[in-house]
A and B are shown apart, each in its own frame.
Chain A
Amino acid sequence: MSAVLDVVLSSAFLAAVLRVSTPYLLAAFGGLVAERAGVSNIALEGQMLSAACTGALVAGYSGSVARGALCGVGVATLLGLLLAALRLELGADVIIAGIGLNLLASGGTAYAVFTLLDDKGGTSGLKSGSLPAVPLPGIESIPVLGDALSGQNLVTWLALLTAPVIAWLFYRARFGFHLRAVGEMPDAAASVGIPVRRVQYTGLALSGALAGLAGVFLSMGYVSFFVRDMTAGRGFIALAAVFLGGLRPWGVFLAALGFGTAEALAVQLGTLDVPPQLVSTIPYAMTLVALAVYAWRRTRQTGGEVAAAA
């Protein structure tokens, strides 16, 4: 047990938590924005994957990391807009359309990498570099925390910043009010002159961009190359964090951080005599229980009405 505590309390572990949590945080906020706009974004996974692949490929061929990152985020944004268009213009089921986009991303990225590089696994043969780490002046002098925070990637800082920004957007900005109104009751929102479609398109674009940033981090920060299907279900976990966090910015922040912590813990405990696979199930089991409790409380509040029809 003390060995576990030693691991958990080290600054290296805190640094790992921040690094591992970064994609979860960004993708979860992407999911939150979409969910609040009334369009579930199941395609987070595919958006991350496309961004990761595009980022690594563009950076590798152009030699510019910044251009790669921008293109990656751009592609994910376009996928967000495509999801919105499928839903709003073509009446698609948003869940199934999301599954389709995930498939498209999985097949498309693997096909692109194989066609360009003749490599089944990923872009490890292509030198694409990674986004810079940002040292904050003075922060290294803080004990424990300083070591954890110094040298974190630019995107990690952005991910941590996203929480207050989204909270501000939701509760202080006009766009956030519109977004929440549209998600809550589109007809009512339309009746007071809110441009429902434009708000939903913007929301889905923002959602895609955030997921894209998460993807770019995976291939240009976490590691410096693209690996086939490297998102490995992170988009779905992020989606769970959205619900676990009760659709609120700070709740989602904590949930995503929790998933990141559990994963970092699972990696660290792999060196000890605890099966890492079992440790890593904890957050999912917690989500499942939380989901049940949350739903149970809601049914109680609505006077035992059967919510199955919903």
Chain B
Amino acid sequence: MTGTLIETEDRREYKATRRRDLAVDLSMALATILAALAIGFVVMLVTGNDPVEAYGAMLTGPLERSFRVGRWLEDATTLTLLGLSVAIPFRARQISLGAESQLYAGALAAAAVAIFLPLPPVVAVVVPLVASAVAGAGMGLIPGSMKARLGANEIVATLMLNAIVVRVYDYLVNGPLKEPGSSAVHSKSIQQDSALTPLRDWFGIPLGRANVGLLLMVLTAVALWLLITRTPLGYRIRMTGSNPEFAEYGGIRVPRVIEWSFVIGGAVAGLAGAHLVQGVYGRLEPGLAGSLAFEGIVVALLARNNPLVVVVAGLFYSYLRAGGDIMEQQTDVGTEIVVVIQAVIVLLVTAQALPDLLKRRLARKQVAAR
């Protein structure tokens, strides 16, 4: 009986530690964001703008009208999917910068099916989504196996793939897939049945281009969270990330795990591409993703690669983006200040020794005070 007593005590202690860690993580994230906003405040002040007015517009703007809420949610869907897509390889300590290539491959696959393949309703939505995930996964497999089987640097491999796929995409949109007879550069529109249902059909209020992709995104996040925390593969990914040699020693086939992390991440980034095609634009546009792929990395970092937290971070980050645009319309402050704030967040998050440094200084002060 004493064994069970010790067990319960151990469990209680473990749970207390988990709670404490979570509290520390959350307060760190909050402190990081506040510090970044404070730096943005100073930058605006120094450059002769009114930071109070600007932040007012930025932080209340996105909620003022329903279609602005829609813009925010639509942007958050894509961004969070991209954040999730890099969070998985990051968990296996693989620096995959390939979300861009995976997104464009996914967008192409989704568009190819949704434009050219006549399918019955419902199936017409699902098949392009699956196609995009497969295409994205394939695009993740290339750098994944190069890293896992040959030890090729995954950063360079993913960057090169990005460069290739972006150019091929550009060629296809300007050439073979360009809508004939149209003066603007874009593909034909997808079939009606393939579109992701816009949310305004459900809620009856104008929500811009926000669509059921939002739900899909949340489901993906939950699925990935379950994968990471509750399945053997998730365990292997975490082990590989925290100590590859120990994982290998413990009988985990590290190369295969690395490949899987790239494939899963690729599939999710492919879905982000499908969301842009089937939910947002309804066709292929040049430069579909903008700088979103790299900003997905920021979201994953801010969330410390925890899939559920990625959703929160993605929503927050998109809120800043949406707010930035409104701020620019209402005040004279450029929306680019948002990018500066984001950059500061990244730098603060990665400066791991910073909290320790602060703590040590505080401790020293306390000692001096005594």
Contact = CB atoms under 8 A, between A and B. Distances in A.
Given A278-B167, A288-B164, A91 B352 contact: yes
Contacts of B351: 86, 90-92, 97
Interface in B278-300: 291, 294, 297-298
Nearest to A90: B351
B208 interface: no
A308 B175 CA distance: 40
* Chain B contact residues: helix, strand, loop or mixed: helix
Contact of B344 (A104, A112, A299): A104
Interface in A95-111: 95-97, 99-104, 106-108, 110-111
Contacts, number: 165
A96 B156 contact: no
Contact of B168 (A101, A277, A287, A296): A277
Given A107-B336, A310-B151, A281 B254 contact: no
A92 B152 contact: no
Most buried by B among A111, A240, A287, A298: A111
Given A100-B343, A278-B168, A295 B254 contact: no
Contacts of A236: 159, 163
A240 B47 contact: no
B59 interface: no
Given A100-B350, A107-B340, A287-B160, A292 B244 contact: no
Size class of the B contact interface (CB-based, 8 Å): 35 or more
Contacts of A306: 151, 248, 254-255
Nearest to B298: A103
Given A93-B350, A306-B255, 5 more contacts: A107-B342, A275-B175, A277-B174, A278-B167, A308-B258
Interface of A: 40, 42, 86, 89-93, 95-97, 99-104, 106-108, 110-112, 114-115, 120, 233, 236-237, 239-240, 243, 275, 277-278, 280-281, 284-285, 287-288, 291-292, 294-296, 298-299, 306-310
16 contacts: A95-B95, A96-B297, A97-B346, A104-B340, A108-B339, A236-B163, A240-B159, A275-B175, A278-B168, A281-B164, A284-B161, A287-B156, A296-B150, A306-B254, A308-B147, A308-B255
Interface of B: 43, 47-49, 95, 146-153, 155-157, 159-161, 163-164, 167-168, 170-171, 174-175, 244-245, 248, 254-255, 258, 291, 294, 297-298, 301, 334, 336-344, 346-347, 349-354, 357
